[in-house]
Chain A
Amino acid sequence: MLMHNYKRFGMILLLLTPLFITITCKKKNSAIKIDHDRVTQSLPGNRVSAGYMNITNTMEKDDTLLSVDTDDFETVEFHNMFEENGVMKMEPMDSVVIKGGQSVSFTPGGMHIMLINNKREIKAGEKIQLNLHFENAGLIKLTSPVKSIEEQVE
């Protein structure tokens, strides 16, 4: 009887495997594609870093990046940078819309993700996990490399 139950459980597991694979691979098949993601190292005595990446929305429908969180920083914000009459202005943004079929880039000297008050020193060569929350695509977890400041000079 017990043996029979084990067999049944095994069969159920076997049948559920494709579903499990589909769920775990969902990130790769997501409508949102992310590349060139990286976070800058922290500098001595300083607790801020910047996050950069390209986000592409492969769907026709617009999507919105609502927020980013990580265990390594207290606060994460989106900042838009633009130059006006030789003055660099920084404007916090509540969310970032990625139009259908288009890409948005967070780049050095441009729009960036500001990571505020680190909970530990963030060293170049490490990796940190970022949780990106999209309105439609839901949660996308990224494991992004930490790069030195020098590597951001283009």
Chain B
Amino acid sequence: MTKKIRICFIGIFLLMAAGISSCKHEQPKLEILDTIGSDFTLTDQNGKAFNLKDVRGKVVLMFFGYTNCPDVCPITLAKFGAAYQKLGSSADEVKTIFVSVDGQRDTPEKLKKYLSYFKYNPIGLTGTPDEISKVVKSFKVLFVKRLTGNSNGYLFDHSTATFLIDKEGRVRHLFGQTDRPETIANVINVLLKSN
């Protein structure tokens, strides 16, 4: 009988341990991903030089795209808007950077017009193909230009990861295309609390 109770207790303990570990699993670890990214300089939507250092002290959501992208790019930017709403007052501590990989078409003026739609004032960055290419490589992002043969000219195969950068400029997390605004807001909150 005592043996049975002991086995029961061990069983309950193991179940509890499994439960705790699975709960822990839901929290992102937010390790410092030091092999991804570094400071860089590009041109912002006002035509001024922008360095990643300019947003030290803010948590940054950084996404690579281009304005002629009809689907993933605007939806991702809208998703960030929804995440900002969920963050409430913490939203002031978060800045979004949209890096265009289409320096040829995305001039600062075009970026300014395009991003004016989003109420949370994202920073839009562009540059020469060489300048953009350096940033793309540093963040290990893949972009392949693909000619379409129509009047739109070309499209890009591109990485859809969004980089979460901490207040010291270090990449801490990568969001995927399927991550919902709630997830983005939750992970940002975890990062803000850990700072």
Seen from chain A, the residues whose Cβ lies within 8 Å of a Cβ on chain B are: 40, 43-46, 48-50, 74-75, 77, 79, 81, 83, 86-90, 92, 108-109, 112, 114-117, 149-150, 152-154
Contacts and interface: CB of A to CB of B under 8 A. Distances in A.
Contact of A46 (B68, B81, B146, B161): B68
Contact of B114 (A43, A83, A108, A109): A43
Interface in B110-159: 110, 113-114, 116-117, 142, 146, 148, 150-152, 155-159
Contacts of A117: 151-152
A44 B150 contact: no
Nearest to B176: A86
Interface string B51-64: 00000000000000
B152 to A, nearest CB: 5
Interface of B: 67-72, 74-75, 77-79, 81-82, 110, 113-114, 116-117, 142, 146, 148, 150-152, 155-161, 176-178, 180-181
Given A45-B114, A83-B177, A153-B82, A108 B159 contact: no
B72 A88 contact: yes
Nearest to B79: A153
Contact of A87 (B74, B114, B117, B157): B157
Contacts of B161: 86
Contacts of B152: 48, 75, 116-117
Contact of B72 (A43, A48, A81, A116): A81
A153 B78 contact: yes
14 contacts: A45-B113, A46-B113, A48-B70, A81-B72, A88-B72, A89-B157, A90-B146, A109-B178, A112-B71, A116-B152, A117-B152, A149-B75, A150-B78, A152-B78
